[in-house]
Amino acid sequence: MSTLLAELANVLGEQGMLTTPDDCSRFEQGARYGNGKTLAVLRPDSHEQVLNILNLCGQHQQPIVLQGANTGLVAASTPDGSGRYLVLSLERLRKHIEIDVDNRSVVVDAGVTLQELNEALEPHGLFFPIDLGANPSIGGMIAANTGGARLIKYGDVRQNLLGLRAVIAGEPAQELDMLSGLRKNNTGPDLKQLFVGSSGAYGIITRAVLQVHRMPQQSATALVVPRDQAAVLQLLRVLERDCSEFLSAFEGISGAALAAVVKHIPSITNPFAPEPLPEYCVLIELSSAANKDVTGIDLEAVLMRCMEELFGDVIENAIVGRGKDLWRIRHAISEALRHEGKMIAFDISMPRSSLVTFRAQALALMAERFAWIKVMDFGHWADGGAHFNMIWPKDAEVAYDVAIVEAIRTLIYDLVVNGFQGSFSAEHGVGPYNLAYYQRYTSAPAQQLAGRLQTLLDPQRLLGLTWFGPAQSAR
Amino acid sequence: MSTLLAELANVLGEQGMLTTPDDCSRFEQGARYGNGKTLAVLRPDSHEQVLNILNLCGQHQQPIVLQGANTGLVAASTPDGSGRYLVLSLERLRKHIEIDVDNRSVVVDAGVTLQELNEALEPHGLFFPIDLGANPSIGGMIAANTGGARLIKYGDVRQNLLGLRAVIAGEPAQELDMLSGLRKNNTGPDLKQLFVGSSGAYGIITRAVLQVHRMPQQSATALVVPRDQAAVLQLLRVLERDCSEFLSAFEGISGAALAAVVKHIPSITNPFAPEPLPEYCVLIELSSAANKDVTGIDLEAVLMRCMEELFGDVIENAIVGRGKDLWRIRHAISEALRHEGKMIAFDISMPRSSLVTFRAQALALMAERFAWIKVMDFGHWADGGAHFNMIWPKDAEVAYDVAIVEAIRTLIYDLVVNGFQGSFSAEHGVGPYNLAYYQRYTSAPAQQLAGRLQTLLDPQRLLGLTWFGPAQSAR
């Protein structure tokens, strides 16, 4: 190991490698899960250094964990407790942001963060529209294929990825340059797709070309109380029919989650006062990047008209306008929930048509079997995503028990996957934290193929903590 | 062979296999290129039969060519002249069309055609928005990742593909069931991406889940004469700024192509009369699926306002309205060009920002070196696609010569790929017809990886005519 570290130090220079426990600690702790130990953090600032690292680690059979901005939620980018991984941080690979206004695209280094990218795009009236509650690196966003709250209008990362440069392991390691800024390009298998949503297990993403979008010129927001759960789908249907391409968010918020926000976030009060808090509500956003002076559209008036039409029949109450305040409620949910107790977070999805039935069945199951757990769910109905989060209250009569938490997870995931052809990981990806569920719910042929691909792309298993092949063939 | 055919006949039944030259002939001739010979056509009508075919062919090392509606333009779905391929037609695998209105998705058998799908969707106000000049099968569209004229608003096939079922070769052949209708699903590597745009070489697509869209409720069309070539990009910039999400087509038409339409299509006259035919024009379409009564938008008035603002500065003339007539001109180009002589068709793309410079350079190169060739180009500027088509006139002083045609192809492709980081196949894919260009322009590491993937997925090379690995390792 000391030979390898010396060789790496030689390649990376003083700035490029951290070895003291103090310097390393922020790379060892994940945003939600994962808390391990690394011997050193490698911080290349060029593509050549990435190649060199992979070659040296290959010669010494030294596995590495890739890390971007360390905001992942499945422990895929932090080392485990074994201390046998090196961390390869891409955070210094962030020099290059090259905007092509006429092509509405940008070439960007993997270590650039979403916020940095959007700050560079803003003077051109452009933005990268993946809307998240964190500030990840672009490489990490591609490795996790993040989705976010506005997927229904803009798609996920994959749908906005025009080009990619990746380094794959081998003797020697190789660079795959697929950095074209093309919207149409069907020249054989699209190899860049291999690296999207693969948690860094198939290769190291070093640079990307992204499609970017015109910034919205207007938006209209409403917080709406549906008559009942079936009315939520009815509302979505009417909005897609009447507002179609303007619909940019349709976020369900349970009464329990809203109550937690009002209770724990001092600056937020019941938006429906003097009415009591509702049993369920939906945050709706319409937006348009078109020039208001040319189109004459007034989206707030459009949204108001929709609400009036639905009033009494589909919806019981609606607040239109005050977009910032309404989004603050949505964004405060995660923090508010933590005040209630220990969070059991879910990131599931299913066909939109199944959301109502799933929610009813899941709530009934929980009430029947785990009555002391408080479900405080919210989610992205328009794309079928649901954060079916729960709280184990601080003062519950049953003491917190990880075995019970696992039983709850399995209960909910079984219902989602087997009952509704849904997903146990909608937008967070797969890592050590949820790999057991990957093994449980992925078909045997798919696991075999994923593992064979991983062996082909990384024969020594140098990259990452996640093995996508069948469990019995894990290292 | 006779043993294999007897076994196949046993599996497929009388309807499922064609062996007479008469019955086989329509499967042997490609839509544009490809004219070969097959011993028999296999026509399975179930997924189980597809599995059985692949297993039997594997036991006998018998290669097959996959065919959907046989509309491909790169000869990937017709047998070659060797007579050693069997054709596997998916045209009888077309029973299943299952629409989920609330999820805006449809489960569809691979053999269903685009037109059949859209007829089934129409009563629900939905459609699959990939707009093409042919009526391909859904499986073929996925295998080629088709794009079409409205990509800028709706994306390509990949961006609308939610799920897939594929059969891969092996001992035994295996079915990969990835048929979920999910917009967010990041549960490990997205294996279905392997089969998109891979010309059928990686596996047999038998069923898919597609995202579908609300049908437009209004559209507005204009045929516009830009001041010069630079003004085309300026026009695109203004339209994306002012009309943004409404822009659904932006099609360039050269003066030569327009003149050919007016000359050869009797029912079409110069739309700009009494003005002479322009040197270049652009077909613009705005569309919206939103309810006009709710939004109050009048797209024709919006488009008119844009044109007025640009008049004199960016554009010299514009016809607004008469959408059907204007699209007829666009759709008549290919037919009109054939009257002029032998077509040399191109399907290239590049960053939109390069289209003006490319066109000027390519026209100059052609005038200098191949002055008797008439360039009659048109293309999808909004997505960077260009059909830089040319005609070798019937009465040219130089006799038609395939070696010169190849020299022209290489000249143009070199400019596109090496000069502008563009693509030699934007939306038609890769097949025997253009495989030599794949080998010329694809990096060595990418060819190696594509070939290793093909060997992994189809170790006996049973599927298709196209080998994506390095040429020296071809069968």
Q: Give B29-75 pLDDT, tens digit per residue.
A: 988 877 899 999 999 999 999 999 999 999 999 999 999 999 998 98
Quick one: pLDDT at residue B1? Answer: 73
> How close does chain A come to B327, measured CA to CA in Å?
22
Comparing alpha-carbon positions, the chain B residue that sits nearest to A383 is B183
Burial pattern B297-331, b for ≥16 Cβ within 10 A else e, equals: bebbebbbbbbeebeeebbbebbbeebeebbebbe
CATH no. for residue A327? 3.30.70.2190
**Is A100's CB within 8 Å of B244's CB?**
no
CATH no. for residue B172? 3.30.465.10
Quick one: pLDDT at residue A1? Answer: 73
Q: Are residues A153 and A229 in the same domain?
A: no
Residue of A182, A353, A429 with shortest CB distance to B103: A353
Could you tell me if residue A239 is inside a domain? yes
pLDDT digits (tens, 9 = 90+) for A59-100: 999 999 999 999 998 989 999 999 999 999 999 999 999 999
Quick one: pLDDT at residue A474? Answer: 66
Interatomic CA distance for residues A52 and A461, integer angstroms: 17
pLDDT digits (tens, 9 = 90+) for A98-132: 999 999 999 999 999 999 999 999 999 999 999 88
Q: Are residues B177 and B232 in the same domain?
A: no
Burial bucket for residue A405 (CB in 10 Å: 0-12, 13-18, 19+): middle
Could you tell me if residue A430 is inside a domain? no
**Per-residue pLDDT at B319 exceeds 90:** yes
Could you tell me if residue A465 is inside a domain? no
Angle at A291 between CA A287 and CA A295, to 5 degrees: 90
Q: Are residues B117 and B206 in the same domain?
A: yes
Interatomic CA distance for residues A192 and A114, integer angstroms: 20
pLDDT digits (tens, 9 = 90+) for A259-296: 999 999 999 999 999 999 999 999 999 999 999 999 99
> How close does chain A come to B321, measured CA to CA in Å?
17
Q: How many domains does the structure of chain B reveal?
A: 4
Quick one: pLDDT at residue B275? Answer: 96
Q: Are residues A122 and A201 in the same domain?
A: yes
Interatomic CA distance for residues A313 and B169, integer angstroms: 54
pLDDT digits (tens, 9 = 90+) for B143-159: 999 998 999 999 999 99
Residue of A189, A305, A450 with shortest CB distance to B188: A450
Domain boundary among A297, A313, A331: A331
pLDDT digits (tens, 9 = 90+) for A354-381: 999 999 999 999 999 999 999 999 999 9
- Confidence bin at A30 (pLDDT 50/70/90): confident
Q: Are residues A203 and A238 in the same domain?
A: no
**Is A191's CB within 8 Å of B424's CB?**
no
> How close does chain A come to B63, measured CA to CA in Å?
20
Domain carrying residue B368: 340-445
Could you tell me if residue B455 is inside a domain? no
Quick one: pLDDT at residue B133? Answer: 84
CATH no. for residue B411? 3.30.70.2740
Q: Are residues A105 and A201 in the same domain?
A: yes
Interatomic CA distance for residues A34 and A25, integer angstroms: 12
pLDDT digits (tens, 9 = 90+) for B231-285: 999 999 999 999 999 999 999 999 999 999 999 999 999 999 999 999 999 999 9
**Is A353's CB within 8 Å of B306's CB?**
no
Could you tell me if residue B456 is inside a domain? no
Residue of A101, A237, A449 with shortest CB distance to B191: A449
Domain boundary among B339, B365, B380: B339
DSSP letter assigned to residue A90: -
Number of A/B CB contacts below 8 angstroms equals 298
Could you tell me if residue B464 is inside a domain? no
Quick one: pLDDT at residue A301? Answer: 97
The pLDDT of B137-145, averaged and rounded, is 97
CATH no. for residue B55? 3.30.43.10
**Is A384's CB within 8 Å of B174's CB?**
no
- Confidence bin at A317 (pLDDT 50/70/90): very high
Q: Are B43 and B16 in contact (CB under 8 A)?
A: yes
- Confidence bin at A2 (pLDDT 50/70/90): confident
CA distances for A90 relative to A69, A199, B313, B444, B469, angstroms:
8, 14, 47, 26, 31
Interatomic CA distance for residues B43 and B176, integer angstroms: 21
Domain boundary among A198, A214, A230: A214
Angle at B457 between CA A57 and CA A424, to 5 degrees: 75
Interatomic CA distance for residues A147 and B183, integer angstroms: 9
Q: Are residues A320 and A287 in the same domain?
A: yes
Greater pLDDT, B132 or A188: A188
What is the residue whose two structure tokens read 């917080």?
Answer: A223
Collapsing DSSP to helix, strand or coil, A420 comes out as helix
Q: Which of B131, B157, B186 is the mutation pick for testing A, counting most A CBs within 10 A? A: B186
Q: Are residues A297 and A371 in the same domain?
A: no
Could you tell me if residue B450 is inside a domain? no
Contacts of A189 in chain B (CB under 8 A): 194, 197-198, 201-202, 450, 453, 468
Element (H, E) at A8: helix A2-12
Quick one: pLDDT at residue B30? Answer: 87
CA B296 distance to own-chain centroid: 35
Question: What percentage of chain A exceeds 90 in pLDDT?
Answer: 94
Quick one: pLDDT at residue A475? Answer: 58
What pTM was estimated for this model as a whole? 0.97
Angle at A403 between CA A402 and CA A405, to 5 degrees: 60
Could you tell me if residue A443 is inside a domain? no
Interatomic CA distance for residues A414 and A423, integer angstroms: 10
Helix and strand counts by DSSP (H, E) for chain B: 16, 21
ipTM of the complex: 0.96
Q: Are residues B310 and B344 in the same domain?
A: no
- Confidence bin at B322 (pLDDT 50/70/90): confident
The pLDDT of B341-360, averaged and rounded, is 97
Q: Are residues B220 and B335 in the same domain?
A: yes
CA distances for B23 relative to A352, B17, B20, B41, B94, angstroms:
45, 10, 5, 9, 20
Residue B234's CB: how many other CB atoms inside 10 A? 19
Q: Are A195 and A164 in contact (CB under 8 A)?
A: yes
A66 forms bridges with which residues in the sheet? A88
Of A203, A206, A205, nearest in space to A454 by CA: A203
The pLDDT of B368-385, averaged and rounded, is 97
Q: Are residues B64 and B154 in the same domain?
A: no
Q: Are residues B152 and B171 in the same domain?
A: yes
